[in-house]
Amino acid sequence: MNYAWEAALAADETGIPREKIRYVPVGNGSPYAEIVLEMLNAKSIEENRVEINPLYRFSGIFAELFHPDMEEYEQTRNLLFETFMQYMIQLDLRQGLDRQEYALRFLLRDILEGMCGSYASQAVSYFEKRQIHQLMRFILELYRCGSSIHLFRKVMRYLYPDSMVYANREEEREILIYVGVKQNGIEQKRIEFLQEMFLPLYDRIFLFWEYHFGIFDVNETMETDNMVLF
């Protein structure tokens, strides 16, 4: 890590909220890096404290405040630095965001605030952070193009690579979903969220979790003890 914003992203990976990170100015930093680390090649942070060389990028602002001879108002200077760094890191992380990225962030905020119902706002927490970003892309596509079995297949294949989604030709509005994982409480809530979000309410849904239903002439689905009847 070199820059403070990289520490913020590393905190995301370890589950540390960005607002709980404390950026502390130190005077023994390298002139070639913003973050002061014992291991220069470290890619993660293990605690909420991150030591920063205040003169690496912002010498024009902090040269006098953190001059070696300046000893007064240490607490006030550190607080000012902390506030400044929190703002600058957010500004750094927004650099390069396009219109769609802003739309995805607004969409996620609306869901978390209950705009799609309290169940949806809770269900988002059952997905990993990297999954949530792609899920918001799918939901944005849903808003633009409307619900479709094709889009639902894309969502399921992304989250469950072994899944299969079938539209029953013999029964109108009937969908068969093979998830490909064992059923548990978390997976149940995830699938319920996906159904409510991406499929019309009037579709009849049949779920098959660990075992696929048997299909004649498809040997992979007709293995004894590894199939269900439908």
Question: How would residue 225 be classed by pLDDT, with cut points 50, 70 and 90?
Answer: low
From 94, 118, 140, the end of a domain falls on 94
Give pTM, 2 decimals.
0.58
From 54, 78, 94, the end of a domain falls on 94
Q: 129-150, pLDDT tens digit by residue?
A: 788 989 999 999 998 888 888 9
Q: 71-127, pLDDT tens digit by residue?
A: 788 888 889 998 998 988 888 887 766 778 888 888 998 988 888 888 888 888 889
22: phi then psi, degrees, rounded to nearest 5: -110, 120
> What is the end-to-end Cα distance of the chain in Å, rounded?
54
What pLDDT is stored for residue 157 in this prediction?
A: 93
Query: Closest Cα partner for 34 from 44, 46, 24?
Result: 24
Residues 84 and 136 in one domain: no
DSSP code per residue over 93-112:
HHTT--HHHHHHHHHHHHHH
Domain assignment of residue 104, given as a range: 99-228
From 39, 64, 94, the end of a domain falls on 94
Q: 13-46, pLDDT tens digit by residue?
A: 777 888 888 888 887 767 778 888 766 566 667 6
Within 8 A by CB and 6+ apart from 28, the residues are 36
Residues 125 and 221 in one domain: yes
Rounded to an integer, what distance in angstroms lies between the CA atom of residue 1 and that of residue 46?
13
Q: Do 159 and 131 contact (CB within 8 A), yes or no?
A: yes
